[in-house]
Amino acid sequence: MDNPLLCSAALPAFAAIRPEHVEPAVRQVLDENRRGLRALLSSGATGWDGIVAPIERMQHRLARIWSPVGHLNSVTNGDELRAAYNACLPLLTAYHTEMSQNAELCAAYQRIRDTEYDALAPAQRKLIDNALRDFRLAGVALPAERKQRFRELMERLATAQAKFDENVLDATNAWTRAVDDATELAGLPDAVVARARAEAARNDKSGWLFTLDAPNYQAVLTHAEHRPLRQDFYTAWNTRASEQGQAQWDNTALIDEILALRHEAARLAGFANFAEYSLATKMAQDPAEVLEFLRRLARLCRPAAQKEFAELESFAGTKLEAWDVAFYSERLKRARLAVSEEELRPYFPLPRVLQGLFAVAQQLYGVRIEERKDIEVYHPDVQFFDILGTDGQPRGGFFLDLYARPRKRGGAWMDECLGRIDLAGTRALPIAYLVCNFTPPGGDKPSLLTHYEVVTMFHEFGHGLHHMLTRVDFPSVAGINGVPWDAVELPSQFMENFAWREEVLPLISGHVETGAPLPLDALRKLQATRSFQAGMQSVRQLEFALFDFRLHAEFDPARGARLLQTLAEVREEVAVVRPPDFNRFPHSFQHIFSGGYAAGYYSYKWAEVLSADAFGAFEEAGIFDVATARRFLGSILERGGSRDAMEAFVEFRGRKPELEPLLRQLGLAA
């Protein structure tokens, strides 16, 4: 076999993978899987061993072949690889739709449910339940004509959502703001001014030219002393892709269409509305539970938010408009907390942080993490590590890719390289990619992190542990697979908490020159940033979440989207900072109209509650309490998606999640 993507070695042969290998490999595996499926269904095979095991192996192989392609596209992104990657996306989508709408396959799973379910292990039962649920969500049981309609709705939805994104992008790109008078730049960071100068030069203009990207928007709103500049940016940003801008990018009609399509698809699949459809795969039970959760949290956070806003106005000495809030908040924060993330960098050399992070994992879960030099990596900066269990046996491993470099996607994330499987002779241990974008080392100095970046490292490592410490042998419910969207951030946000604790500080900090750990008073100041304006930030998130959820839950084709009315009602109920009437924030709300958060934006807060409450158990018992840690390992990390998320939480915590630990963490507890 000369296509390196198709070779059977456990880990990807990165150096040998060329863009021209991608599409042939994907086509070949999809063809083989389709032939395999047909043969399976016509052979009369039944049961777990006859149906599920071979399907799991097929899907695992496809994921294994696709994973290095997706990963390399994210971290190296050459033009040819991107083209090859994009060419495969429709092939994969078509294949997944075909699988999930395959009535014969669904019937085979249903027979297992009807005949041998009771004899199966709990993880196997969960897999069967999930599979049947997903068949239903794909409209498998519909008569041919309505199944066709469901497919059309999904295709039209994909196009409309992509168009929504394009409009936001085009409207954003079309706007610029010229500045000729240098006094208007007062307060802006040098790097932002330099960028604007370069942009003007590129357009053969004098002065400065600002584009409307997120870093510029944040910088101007937070730092620009010149109020009209802030107002211009605020107005431009918050009317993007609306009827107040150019008609060709107006998302108003698309929003109506997207909501109507989702509603119709949900109805076809047997749900009352799209909110119910969305919750079918989530930990939250029903719309009433989500609404009650959001409203309860809003009632608890709003008094603090009102107090914070009153404080801010009194600090500013004036009534604040929406474009003043970030600016005065930054000044108040500096005046009150006197802490600079930048100045603390020398205390967090990356090697020290990693060593400390691995020590935390070892103390909690008994795992040892060791670098391997004999594994092929795809860039000289990338390292590979084994995770060894208490018995010294390998449990998994991860590629660690930490530094920013050209053509690497921004941000930080964990992704699956290889899923755990142990099924009828096919075995593999879980392997992860952990990716960050830290400043590379300079000269003989290691990379120095801000505390924010240390927290990011802990967050992604939490996802990594969830993937790598799984004991589940069936890929579709192992690790983070099959974990509900509103629970998947539990292990990551949980892990963040350790980076804020004084017990952990000596492990993860050591001044790059003196080796001294971060002084405790500096940590106290950092901790105070965590609760700074926590009330205002919370009600803002709750406003988005409640708006998203009500929009989908209350949609009625007879009266249309009620977009701005719903938003106004939600703001009346929870908001503290009241945006001006021209604000059209929904028109660029990509999370819910083009991303994966439709009727799911509440997941952020939901998972925060879970993670804060889970960490509460460690606060009660001692943050390195081994018994508590092993319970967290056994109930949550090792079980992945193989059991109901609420049951797993209750097994660990001894009760259902409570809000108080999050309120305490944010300094909002009564």
CB contact at 8 A, 382 and 368:
no
Q: How far is the CB of 489 from Zn ion (least distance, A)?
A: 5
Nearer to Zn ion, 493 or 509 (CB): 493
Sequence-distant (6+) residues with CB within 8 A of 295 are: 546, 573
# residues near Zn ion by CB under 5 A: 1
Q: How far is the CB of 413 from Zn ion (least distance, A)?
A: 7
Interaction between residue 497 and Zn ion (CB under 5 A): no
Residue 185 has what DSSP assignment? G
DSSP per residue, 54-110: HHHHHHHHHHHHHHHHHHHHHHT--HHHHHHHHHHHHHHHHHHHHHHT-HHHHHHHH
Residue nearest to Zn ion (CB): 492
Nearer to Zn ion, 492 or 583 (CB): 492
Residue 409 has what DSSP assignment? P
Stretch near Zn ion under the rule CB under 5 A, chosen from 35-43, 152-160, 492-500, 628-636: 492-500
Bridge partners of residue 588, in order along the sequence: none
Catalytic residue among 460, 489, 496, 543: 460
Nearer to Zn ion, 75 or 106 (CB): 75
Q: How far is the CB of 466 from Zn ion (least distance, A)?
A: 10
Nearer to Zn ion, 239 or 603 (CB): 603
Sequence-distant (6+) residues with CB within 8 A of 119 are: none
What interhelical angle do 214-223 and 227-237 show, nearest 10? 140
Stretch near Zn ion under the rule CB under 5 A, chosen from 30-38, 44-52, 485-493, 506-514: 485-493
Interaction between residue 611 and Zn ion (CB under 5 A): no
Pairing, β 208-211 against β 368-372: unpaired
Q: How far is the CB of 488 from Zn ion (least distance, A)?
A: 8
Out of 492, 533, 538, 665, point to the residue binding Zn ion (CB under 5 A).
492
Place of tokens 């599409």: 23
Any idea how long the chain is? 670
Q: What binding mask, one character per residue, do residues 438-477 give for Zn ion by CB under 5 A, x or -? A: ----------------------------------------
The alpha-helical segments, DSSP class H, found in 587-653 are: 590-593, 603-621, 626-632, 645-653
CB contact at 8 A, 274 and 290:
no
Q: How far is the CB of 638 from Zn ion (least distance, A)?
A: 19
CB contact at 8 A, 339 and 526:
yes
Stretch near Zn ion under the rule CB under 5 A, chosen from 179-187, 295-303, 486-494, 531-539: 486-494
Active-site residue 311, yes or no?
no
**Residues of this chain, 205-234, that bind Zn ion according to CB under 5 A:** none
Q: How far is the CB of 411 from Zn ion (least distance, A)?
A: 10
Q: How far is the CB of 36 from Zn ion (least distance, A)?
A: 34
**Residues of this chain, 164-193, that bind Zn ion according to CB under 5 A:** none
What does R_g of the chain's alpha carbons equal in angstroms? 26
Which helix H or strand E contains 530, and what residues bound it?
A: helix 520-531
Interaction between residue 603 and Zn ion (CB under 5 A): no
Nearer to Zn ion, 611 or 628 (CB): 611
Nearer to Zn ion, 101 or 492 (CB): 492
Strand, coil or helix: what is 248? helix
Nearer to Zn ion, 460 or 473 (CB): 460
Which amino acids are annotated catalytic? 460
Which residues are near Zn ion by CB under 5 A?
492
